[in-house]
Each structure stands twice: as C-alpha cells, then as structure tokens.
C-alpha cells in the first residue's frame, strides 16, 4: 500500500483500510411498519412492542432535534440534509441504517437569516436486515451568524470513475479551522448488484468535534449530465448563500453525510464543503461497497486509478477574474476549465482537467456610451463537448440549458440604456458529467 502523504494541509491516504464505515443495507420486509413519535415520547400504530433500538431512539432523542444553520437564506435542500445528518448523529441505530426523510409539516422552505422555524419531520429508518420504522420528530432550526471561511483545498474523487467492486475511493483529513470542498463522481460498474457510495466524517479524538457542513448529491434518475448538474446546482445555491449547518460528532464516531444507493450501472455525483470549527482533526472518506459486501475485497486496495479521471487535493479552488465590455466593441470572453488556469494536484502536480469543482467569479464592467439603448447577452459555448452549467448572475440563479458544440445558447440578456454603466457579476462552477472547457461571452445577442 502507498505511504500516506500530506497534500497542502490535507492528509491523503487513499488506500488505508477504514476503521468502520457505516453503510446502509437494503431492508428486509419481514415485519409490520412501526411508527414512533419522538418528542411526545409516545408510540402510535405499533403492531407489536418496539424493538430495543426503537426504545433507545425514544429515550435518546429528547423533546426535539435542535439544529443551528447558516445562510441568507438557508435553502430547503440544506435544511433537508441537516435533518438527515442530525438523525444519524442523535438517534441510536440510525448510523448504520438507511435513513430517508419522507416529509415535513409544514413543508421545508427557505429560512431567512437570524430567524427560527419548527417542523415535524417524518423519517424512515431501516437498520440492516430489518424493515423500516417511521419516526415523527420535532425539529427546530435556528439560523445563526458565523464567519464565512471558503475552501482552501478542493478534494476530488473521480478515479476510478467506474467501480467493478467496493473500494476506499478517497481518504483525507482536516486540521483545526480548515475548510475543504469535496467533489466526487462515480459509477456502479456491477451489472447485477446495487452499490452504496458513502461520504463519511470521522472524529478520531476522545472528545467531540464541531463541524460546519453543506452538501448536495444527485438523485436516482437521469443520465450522467443531468445527475452532475443536479448536484452542482444545489451545491452552488447553498455556497452562494453561505448556507450550511453545525454538526457535533461524538468522540471516536463515524457519521455518514451523503449516501447513494446505486442500481447497476447508475452514477452518483455530489459535492460537500466542510469546516472544522472546534477540534484538532476530522477524517473524511469516500467509500464504495457492493450490496452485501462487509469489507472491500483485498484487490480494491491496489492503486488502480484510471488515467483519464482525476483524484487528489488541489489548492485554492476559487478563480476570480475581471473584464470589461463596451457596446459596439469586442465581446468579453470568460473561460471555464481552460488549460491556462487548471489547478494542479498538491503532490503529483497532475492537472485537474476541466477544473471540476472550482468556483469561478467574474466581474464585468459593462458600458453603453452610445446615444441609443442596447441589448447585451451572456452566451454559453460548449467548447469541450456537450455541457450544462449553473450560473448566479447578479444574485439570480440561472439553471443553464444543455448546450451542444457549435450551438451556443443565451443565458441572460441585459437592457442597457443610452450612456449607462453597470457591473455584471457571474459565479459558476464546472460540473461533473459535463465536458469542459466552456466559454462565456458577453456581447450582442
């Protein structure tokens, strides 16, 4: 096995055997559904007395889950992930189970800064080889203000992209106060068996640690392009709003953060950003396991990373550019994932082709010195092949279309009055499943 090495402050150990990664297994339907009401400490609709883990869940959950979140506002998707993470952290038996948020009353909605909201969450928990149990849990969100710390390092797990068996795909560690971003994108290579892709956070210390977390993952349906776009869109919205939540991880504990149950040949894609708020070390892993597999096979620890896709740690995953456009003059051009600005892996110096997971921020000074009003268009060009994108333009989220080579598509148009000036601020990120580089132009429609 390779020796662990340090990559720009993030300890990478891609072949190290995990201590124990909680991986849900598909439940067996042998027992009638149980419904537990946590908070009132009452049982409703039980077909038979609660099992031991159900009794412990009732005793441990207390009157409600209280979750501190950030964001201006906090998107509903971030609140959803916060509920799932809090349940896995606080409800006994949930860490090794398949946890699903079925619904909330009222429905989750954006939570404004410095505000509070309470919902009742209906959560399904299916421990290994057990039928699911539904818990009704009161959840109170409090939107707090925390200093923003952007990621110093981008962790990429995309090699090997297609997985014939379970494997420890990525292993790294955060140190005190560090913030990292993770991008992962993998395919279940089995033709017959489900595969779980799990992102875990582990506290190796003897005392609890506190982390700030945000993240997003693709769903179950869609092609590679759509799945990568789904995850990137949700992540970029949360990132732009500085939206996330605080999570306390007990001593010597591993918590699943993002979990994919992939059917044969299906793809799982996602992003997360994690800051270690209080504590000295936090371990992060991306692990794949086939259904029924207790531990990855010995062959999975061989360094069989493919030569096309990337993995590793990449420093300073934020690129800031400024440019100008004058009506009647040359168009302004903004490149995403071009060879001139790709990041390099901290130790191997291999290039991150496409700069997937890197945030781009453009400020364009637009001027119309003419005596007539003019229309200006921001246009996307797919220079590397079929691509999609998510764009935040002057605080408005633009869900970009699928763009084919040599068939550019307008993303937004601006009406510039005679003799006026304005600033166009564009934030975006190359998305997994798409083919970058992509070129943006600002000019005539």
Is residue 178 included in any domain, yes or no?
A: yes
324-378 pLDDT tens trace:
999 999 999 999 999 889 999 988 899 999 999 999 999 999 999 999 999 999 9
Whole-number Å distance between alpha carbons of 96 and 127: 6
CB 211, CB 277: distance < 8 Å: yes
Q: Which of 109, 127, 143 is the last residue of a domain?
A: 143
* Domain match, 344 and 417 both: yes
The whole-number pLDDT of residue 293 equals 79
Kindly list the averaged pLDDT for each block of 10 residues, start to end, along the chain of length 445: 38 43 47 36 35 52 82 97 96 89 97 97 90 93 96 95 89 95 95 94 97 95 91 98 97 96 95 97 95 72 73 96 97 95 91 96 98 97 97 96 97 96 98 97 96
* Domain match, 121 and 155 both: no
* Domain match, 168 and 286 both: yes
Whole-number Å distance between alpha carbons of 401 and 111: 28
Is residue 390 included in any domain, yes or no?
A: yes
Q: At what angle do helices 224-240 and 76-90 cross, to 10 degrees?
A: 90
Mean pLDDT taken over the chain: 87
* Domain match, 113 and 179 both: no
Backbone angles phi and psi of 50, in degrees to 5: -65, 150
* Domain match, 182 and 139 both: no
Q: Which of 250, 281, 315 is the last residue of a domain?
A: 315
CB within 8 A of 18, min separation 6: which ones? 168, 171, 200, 254, 285, 287
In what side-by-side order are the strands of the sheet with 420-428? 318-326, 359-368, 420-428, 390-393, 396-399
* Domain match, 48 and 161 both: no
Q: How many domains would you assign to the chain?
A: 3
Burial 301-335 (b: 16+ CB within 10 A, else e): beeebeeebbbbbbbebebeeeeebebeeeebebb
Unique residue bearing structure tokens 């379970």: 166
The whole-number pLDDT of residue 24 equals 54
For residue 383, the cross-strand partners are none
Q: Which 8-state DSSP code applies to residue 351?
A: B
Whole-number Å distance between alpha carbons of 170 and 167: 9
Q: ∠315-335-344 over CA atoms, to 5°?
A: 25
The whole-number pLDDT of residue 222 equals 75
Is residue 216 included in any domain, yes or no?
A: yes
* Domain match, 254 and 336 both: no
Backbone angles phi and psi of 140, in degrees to 5: -115, 125
Backbone angles phi and psi of 164, in degrees to 5: -80, -20
Q: ∠246-256-152 over CA atoms, to 5°?
A: 55
CB within 8 A of 81, min separation 6: which ones? 213, 214, 215, 216, 245, 258
* Domain match, 239 and 281 both: yes
Is residue 393 included in any domain, yes or no?
A: yes
Q: Which of 315, 345, 376 is the last residue of a domain?
A: 315
* Domain match, 165 and 139 both: no
pTM assigned to the model: 0.87
CB 252, CB 208: distance < 8 Å: no
* Domain match, 349 and 366 both: yes
The whole-number pLDDT of residue 99 equals 95
The β-bridge relationship of strands 153-157 and 179-188 is: parallel
Could you tell me the CATH number of the domain that includes residue 406? 2.60.120
User: Range of 126's domain?
Assistant: 34-143
Whole-number Å distance between alpha carbons of 167 and 163: 8
Q: ∠118-123-124 over CA atoms, to 5°?
A: 180
The whole-number pLDDT of residue 10 equals 52
Whole-number Å distance between alpha carbons of 438 and 229: 14
205-250 pLDDT tens trace:
999 999 999 999 999 877 999 999 999 999 999 999 999 999 999 9
* Domain match, 205 and 125 both: no
Whole-number Å distance between alpha carbons of 155 and 301: 19
* Domain match, 113 and 204 both: no
Beta strands in 132-194 (DSSP E): 133-143, 153-157, 162-163, 167-175, 179-188
Is residue 21 included in any domain, yes or no?
A: no
Q: ∠143-147-152 over CA atoms, to 5°?
A: 120
Is residue 335 included in any domain, yes or no?
A: yes
Is residue 6 included in any domain, yes or no?
A: no
Distance of CA 355 to the CA centre of its chain: 16
Is residue 9 included in any domain, yes or no?
A: no
CB 279, CB 218: distance < 8 Å: no
């Amino acid at each position: 096995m390779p020796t662990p090495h340090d990559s720009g402050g993030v300890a990478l150990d891609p072949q190290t055997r995990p201590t124990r990664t909680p991986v849900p297994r598909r439940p067996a339907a042998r027992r009638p559904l149980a419904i537990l009401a946590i908070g009132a400490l009452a049982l409703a609709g039980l077909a038979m007395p609660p099992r031991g883990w159900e009794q412990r869940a009732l005793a441990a959950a207390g009157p409600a889950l209280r979750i501190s979140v950030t964001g201006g506002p906090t998107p509903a998707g971030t609140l959803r992930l916060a509920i799932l993470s809090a349940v896995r952290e606080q409800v006994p038996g949930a860490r090794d189970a398949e946890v699903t948020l079925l619904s909330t009353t009222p429905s989750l909605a954006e939570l404004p800064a410095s505000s509070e909201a309470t919902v009742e969450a209906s959560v399904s928990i299916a421990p290994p080889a057990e039928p699911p149990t539904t818990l009704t849990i009161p959840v109170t969100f409090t939107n707090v203000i925390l200093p923003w710390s952007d990621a110093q390092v981008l962790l990429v797990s995309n090699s090997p992209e297609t997985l014939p068996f379970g494997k420890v795909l990525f292993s790294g560690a955060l140190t005190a106060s560090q913030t990292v971003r993770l991008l992962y994108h993998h395919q279940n290579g089995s033709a017959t068996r489900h595969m779980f892709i799990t992102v875990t956070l582990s506290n190796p210390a003897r005392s609890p640690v506190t982390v700030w977390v945000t993240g997003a993952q693709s769903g179950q349906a869609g092609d590679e392009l759509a799945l990568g776009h789904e995850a990137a869109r949700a992540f970029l919205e949360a990132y732009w709003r500085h939206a996330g939540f605080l999570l306390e991880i007990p001593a010597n504990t591993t918590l699943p953060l993002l979990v994919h149950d992939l059917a044969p040949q299906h793809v799982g894609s996602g992003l997360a950003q994690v800051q270690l708020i209080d504590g000295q070390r936090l371990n992060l892993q991306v692990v794949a396991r086939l259904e029924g597999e207790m531990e990855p096979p010995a062959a999975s620890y061989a360094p069989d990373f493919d030569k096309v896709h990337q993995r590793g740690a990449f420093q300073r995953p934020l690129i800031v550019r400024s440019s100008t456009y004058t009506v009647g003059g040359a168009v302004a051009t903004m490149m995403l994932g071009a060879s001139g600005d790709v990041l390099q892996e901290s130790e191997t110096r291999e290039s991150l082709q496409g700069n997937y997971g890197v945030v781009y921020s453009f400020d364009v000074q637009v001027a119309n010195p003419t005596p007539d009003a003019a229309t200006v268009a921001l246009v996307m060009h797919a220079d590397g092949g079929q691509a999609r994108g998510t764009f935040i333009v002057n605080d408005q989220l633009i869900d970009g279309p699928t763009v084919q080579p040599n068939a550019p598509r307008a993303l937004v148009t601006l009406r510039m009055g005679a003799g006026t000036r304005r600033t166009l601020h564009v934030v975006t990120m190359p998305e997994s499943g798409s083919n970058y580089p992509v070129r943006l132009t600002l000019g005539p429609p």
